[in-house]
Amino acid sequence: MFLGKARAYTNIALIKYWGKKDETCILPMNSSLSLTLDAFYTETSVCFDKNLTRDYFSLNGEEQSVQQTAKIAAFLTMIRQQYQLDLFAKVESTNFVPTAAGLASSASGFAALAGACNQALQLGLADADLSRLARRGSGSACRSIFGGFAEWEKGADDASSFAKKIPSDDWENELAMLFVLVDDRIKDVSSRDGMKRTVQTSSFYQGWLETAPADLQTAKAAIAAKDFKALGEVTEANGLRMHGTTLGAVPPFSYWSPESLKVMTCVRQIRAQGLPCYFTMDAGPNVKILVEKKNISQLKALLLNDFSENQLITANAGPGLSTLPVERLMSDD
Ligand code: ADP
Ligand code: DP6
């Protein structure tokens, strides 16, 4: 029996990953940049056991169906092939983040699973290789190996597509992200399906590909210069461009709800009043607001005019992947 356990935090992209050029290997069409956050995370245990006849997955204490286990089973099969292993596994995971609500549970989920497998099988993988492994589960997971700012260089193949930490002189510790939860239910169109439909059918996708590389350079320069306004402006613009592509898809779709638009309007108004803050959104209606830590209380106070306390969650920059002591698993019985 081989046991491993790990914790990984979610990351939110400031420059989005949107579209794959290789769906099996999960190679992206564009490079992306993210901030790992301390408010949401996943803890995952894995137990490879000769007595198992298939892979099992339980999430938040609930046994998942074979269908719900498919992505995890495919990931484990990839590991079995890569490391000539002949054992099925039991995976037990707890999301301290709403699942599939556009809050990046797939990022923390697969980063934690990669870390747990690395520990269980004593693979001894360095961060870049852990990032490549996590990427095979979910693209955005490759960035959650790292704390603070991370850049996922799209690369050309499996070997060259992984994330790395962006040197920032710890500037991320002066920043915060305020999550405005408008809906934490499972979304209709997963990020996987949404980006696929967009790549295949959106007449606006070419525009995304033409602008994303310059956005990334602008964001990296802003981080190097600790220029909050420049980082915020490119974050907001890049997120809007990503969401613009979904409107050109066939059939068109949008992750926005009326409440998302209300948050965006509030952010613009608050900014006009002189408090610098910028929004971004992922594959779901919840909105994340990038703000300097020194302004977070004021931002929260202003948003409380329109939203309730329990809709607002403050996140600071979070750490990278960590391994945890292994406890007794169900499969020990
Ligand atoms: P989100 O916005 O939450 O990342 P996605 O649609 O991108 O939503 O991903 C949700 C999917 O991620 C889930 O359906 C599941 O396949 C996977 N996932 C979520 N949590 C975990 C976890 N703890 N371990 C492994 N996979 C997970
Ligand atoms: C909008 O990483 O969840 O959050 O690789 O298919 O698992 P798969 O997709 P996923 O997509 C994330 C999309 C995004 C932007 C981002 O995080 O960069």
Does residue 201's CB lie within 6 angstroms of at least one atom of ligand 1?
no
Cβ pair 117, 326 in contact under 8 A? no
- What is the whole-number distance in angstroms between the Cα of residue 95 and the centre of ligand 1? 9
Topology match between the domains 2-170 and 174-316: no
Residue identifier of the C-alpha nearest atom 21 of ligand 1: 109
What are the structure tokens assigned to 328, written together? 């007794």
- Other Cβ atoms less than 10 A from the Cβ of 306: the count is 14
Give yes or no for residue 140 CB within 6 A of ligand 2: yes
Which residue's alpha carbon is nearest to atom 3 within ligand 1?
A: 100
pTM of the shown model: 0.96
Neighbours of 196 (CB within 10 A): 16
CATH class of 174-316: alpha beta
Asked if the model's pLDDT at residue 109 lies above 60, the reply is: yes
Mean pLDDT over 91-116 rounds to 90
Q: What percent of the chain has pLDDT over 70?
A: 97
Smallest CA separation from ligand 1 atom 5, residue: 100
Please tell me if the CB atom of residue 151 comes closer than 6 angstroms to any atom of ligand 2: no
Secondary structure element (H or E) that encloses residue 70, with its range: helix 70-82
Strands 56-59 and 88-96 come out as parallel
Buried b (16+ CB within 10 A) or exposed e, 68-99: ebebbbebbeebbeeeebebbbbbbbbbebbb
Instruction: Give 182 Cα–ligand 1 centroid separation in angstroms.
Output: 19
Overall average pLDDT of the 98-126 stretch: 91
- Pairwise CA distance, residues 7 & 322, whole Å: 5
Pocket test for ligand 1, best of 106, 136, 193 (most atoms within 8 A of CB): 106
Residue 107 Cα to ligand 2 middle (Å): 8
CATH 3.40.1350.10 describes domain 2-170:
no
Tell me: the pLDDT tens digits for 62-95? 999 999 999 999 999 999 999 999 999 999 999 9
Confirm or reject: Cβ of 138 under 6 Å from ligand 2.
yes
Name which residue sits closest to atom 12 of ligand 2, judged by CA: 140
Whether 283 is in the pocket of ligand 2, judged by its Cβ within 6 Å, is yes
The size of the chain, in residues, is 333
Least confident of 105-119, 136-150, 178-192, 245-259: 178-192
Residue pLDDT, tens place only, 161-211? 999 999 999 999 999 999 999 987 777 899 999 999 999 999 999 999 999
Residue 333: predicted pLDDT: 43
Atom of ligand 2 nearest to the CA of 196: 6
Q: Return the pLDDT at 187.
A: 73
Domain borders along the chain are 2-170, 174-316
The pLDDT assigned to 296 comes to: 98
Fill in the DSSP letter of residue 317. Answer: B
CA of 314 from ligand 2 middle (Å) equals 22
Query: How confident is the prediction for the chain on average, in pLDDT?
Result: 95
Contact (CB, 8 A) for 213 and 30 = yes
Ligand 2 center to 66 CA (angstroms): 23
**What's the CA gap between 222 and 224, in Å, rounded?**
5
